[in-house]
């Protein structure tokens, strides 16, 4: 068995990717942010304060004949950008891309932070990280993919995110036609709940890869490519107008700049992010100053290959072999 779901950028800056998920009986369709950087499936619901839920599609367990309260269970999550949510837990049927898990832990939000209240294009997150990262107490719950894995043709999923176009999350199979180059595989470290891996080196503007390895995570739930300062500086030293903008909390440059590409080595292959994908968006509507898709990870303590990097590749999240595959697109 397999599943295949379309995913769409939430706005003109590709800030997030939205994937529709069916929950309950009859199906309640919610737009969720699939996040390989976390392991909770949580939703805005009938239990979310009305003022917070305003503008969001919500899940109502009372309207689902297959919903069951998970007695005594609660959850609470804080993301690296300090956004957060918490609540209680139901189990219900959850279908993604035509594949159903009959009893999936659906975490209902009774509290959500301002960032989520304001982000009305999504109704929650569907974690695709490792189960060890799930926050439900007293007993951690499995992710939708973990519950599905044993029934899928292969225990893996792929992410094919695109700039301003419809992409896909495929479960149980690899559609190699989505890629232009070979898939390079490298071990994945799931011990922290993330999909951790090590890139063997990097280069700017098509130069030969150096041998400075970069250890980080493949994170569909983070917009940017967040790397060490020495890498970020090596890149922006090639961008004439680049400067750090305090108010924007990042490097900005003239939108007219012809940005160099950024390449990294992984699993014996090279993934090249075209400069165009690193010109993320004007800092404000109509501005001729643009915000960089590559920014510093110095304040985070972990390197994050977010959507800016993932958009350049077909990425295979292979749970069965504890490995990540990257192919140029």
Question: Which chain residues interact with ligand 47U by CB under 6 A?
Answer: 35, 37-38, 79-81, 83, 221-222, 300, 304
Active site residue 219: yes
Rg, Å, the chain Cα set: 20
Q: Which is nearer to ligand 47U, 39 or 328 (CB)?
A: 39
Active site residue 35: yes
Nearest distance from C-beta of residue 277 to ligand 47U, angstroms: 18
Nearest distance from C-beta of residue 89 to ligand 47U, angstroms: 19
Both tokens assigned to 248: 């924007």
Could you tell me if 67 and 90 are in contact, meaning their C-beta atoms sit under 8 angstroms apart?
yes
Residue with the shortest CB distance to ligand 47U: 80
Q: Which is nearer to ligand 47U, 80 or 201 (CB)?
A: 80
Distance CA 138, CA 8 (A): 35
Q: Residue 235, Cα to own-chain centre: how many angstroms?
A: 24
Q: Which residues contact 236 (CB under 8 A, 6 or more apart)?
A: 242, 251, 253, 292, 294
Nearest distance from C-beta of residue 35 to ligand 47U, angstroms: 5
Q: Which is nearer to ligand 47U, 46 or 78 (CB)?
A: 78
Q: Which is nearer to ligand 47U, 33 or 67 (CB)?
A: 33
| Angle (CA) 24 25 30, round 5° | 40
Nearest distance from C-beta of residue 9 to ligand 47U, angstroms: 16
| Angle (CA) 304 310 315, round 5° | 110
Catalytic-labelled residue, pool 14, 33, 35, 92:
35
Could you tell me if 18 and 33 are in contact, meaning their C-beta atoms sit under 8 angstroms apart?
yes
Nearest distance from C-beta of residue 304 to ligand 47U, angstroms: 6
Helix (H, G, I), strand (E, B) or coil at 235: helix
Catalytic-labelled residue, pool 14, 92, 160, 219:
219
Q: Which is nearer to ligand 47U, 181 or 190 (CB)?
A: 190
- List the beta bridge partners of residue 18: 8, 33
Catalytic residue set: 35, 219
């Amino acid at each position: 068995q397999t599943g295949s779901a379309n995913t769409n950028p939430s706005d003109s800056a590709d800030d997030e990717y939205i994937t529709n998920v069916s929950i309950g009986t009859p199906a309640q369709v919610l737009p969720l942010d699939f996040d390989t950087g976390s392991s909770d499936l949580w939703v805005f619901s009938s239990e979310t304060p009305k003022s917070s839920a305003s503008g969001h599609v919500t899940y109502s367990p009372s309207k689902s004949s297959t919903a069951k309260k998970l007695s005594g269970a609660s959850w609470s999550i804080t993301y690296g950008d300090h956004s957060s949510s918490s609540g209680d837990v139901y189990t219900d049927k959850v279908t993604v891309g035509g594949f159903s898990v009959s009893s999936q832990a659906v975490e209902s939000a009774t509290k959500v932070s301002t960032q989520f209240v304001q982000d009305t294009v999504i109704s929650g997150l569907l974690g695709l990280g490792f189960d060890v990262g799930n926050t439900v107490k007293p007993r951690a719950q499995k992710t939708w993919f973990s519950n599905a894995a044993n029934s899928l043709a292969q225990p893996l999923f792929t992410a094919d995110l695109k700039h301003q176009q419809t992409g896909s999350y495929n479960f149980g199979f690899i559609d190699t036609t989505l890629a232009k180059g070979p898939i390079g595989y490298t071990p994945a470290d799931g011990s922290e709940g993330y999909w951790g891996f090590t890139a063997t080196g990097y280069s700017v503007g098509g130069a030969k890869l150096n041998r400075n390895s970069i250890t980080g995570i493949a994170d569909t739930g983070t917009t940017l490519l967040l790397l060490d300062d020495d890498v970020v500086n090596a890149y922006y030293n090639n961008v004439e107008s680049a400067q750090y903008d305090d108010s924007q909390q990042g490097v900005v440059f003239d939108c007219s700049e012809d940005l160099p590409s950024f390449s990294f080595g992984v699993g014996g292959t090279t993934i090249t992010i075209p400069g165009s994908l690193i010109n993320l968006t004007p800092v404000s509507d109509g501005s001729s100053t643009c915000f960089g898709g590559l920014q510093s990870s110095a304040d985070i303590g972990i390197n994050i290959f977010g959507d800016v990097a993932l958009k350049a590749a077909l990425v295979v999240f292979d749970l069965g072999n504890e490995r990540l595959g990257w192919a140029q697109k």
